[in-house]
Chain A
Amino acid sequence: MTRLTRRGLLGTTAVLGVGLMAAPHVLRAQSRPKVVVIGGGAAGATVAKYVARDSKGAIEVALVEPKETYTTCFYSNLYLAGWRTLESITHRYVNLVQKYGVVHYRDMAVDVDTGKKVVRLASGRELPYDKLVVAPGIDFRYEAIEGYDEAAAMDMPHAYQAGEQTALLRAQLEAMEDGGTVVIAPPPNPYRCPPGPYERTSLIANYLKKHKPKSKIVVCDPKDKFSKQALFQDAWQRYYEGMIEWIPGELGGRVVKVDTKEMTVTLEGGDVIKASVANIIPPQKAGWIAHRAGLTDDSGWCPIDPDSMASRVARDVYVLGDASIASKMPKSGFAANSQAKVVAMDIRHQLLGDRRFPARYRNTCWSSVADDDAVKVGASYKAGETMIEVVDKFISKVDEPPEVRAQTRAEADAWYESITQDIFA
Chain B
Amino acid sequence: MVAEGRAEGDPAYGEYLANECTACHPPDVTDGVIPPLWLLPTDYFIDALRAYRSGERENPVMQAVARALGDEEIESLAAYFADLREQKGGS
Contact = CB atoms under 8 A, between A and B. Distances in A.
Contacts of B63: 394
A417 B60 contact: no
Question: Interface size bucket, A side?
Answer: 20 to 34
A380 B19 contact: no
B16 A345 contact: yes
A357 B11 CA distance: 13
A378 B26 contact: no
Interface string A409-425: 01101110111011001
A262 interface: no
B20 A417 contact: no
A392 B27 CA distance: 27
A275 to B, nearest CB: 37
Given A376-B60, A407-B33, A364 B16 contact: no
Given A394-B63, A410-B32, A415 B27 contact: no
A380 B32 contact: no
B77 to A, nearest CB: 12
B34 A414 contact: yes
Interface in B1-37: 12-13, 16-17, 19-20, 22-27, 30, 32-34
B57 interface: no
Contact of A419 (B13, B24, B61, B64): B24
Contacts of A352: none
Given A357-B17, A414-B33, 11 more contacts: A337-B23, A357-B16, A362-B23, A364-B61, A380-B64, A392-B67, A394-B60, A411-B34, A411-B61, A417-B26, A422-B23
B32 A413 contact: yes
A357 B13 contact: yes
A50 interface: yes
Interface of B: 12-13, 16-17, 19-20, 22-27, 30, 32-34, 60-61, 63-65, 67-68
Nearest to B30: A417
Nearest to B13: A357
Nearest to B36: A418
B27 A425 contact: yes
A334 interface: yes
Contacts of B32: 410, 413-414, 417-418
A364 to B, nearest CB: 6
Nearest to B34: A414
A380 B23 contact: no
A364 B19 CA distance: 15
Interface string A158-201: 00000000000000000000000000000000000000000000
Given A414-B26, A414-B34, A360 B68 contact: yes
Contacts of B23: 334, 337-338, 362, 364, 415, 418-419, 422
Contacts of A355: 12, 16
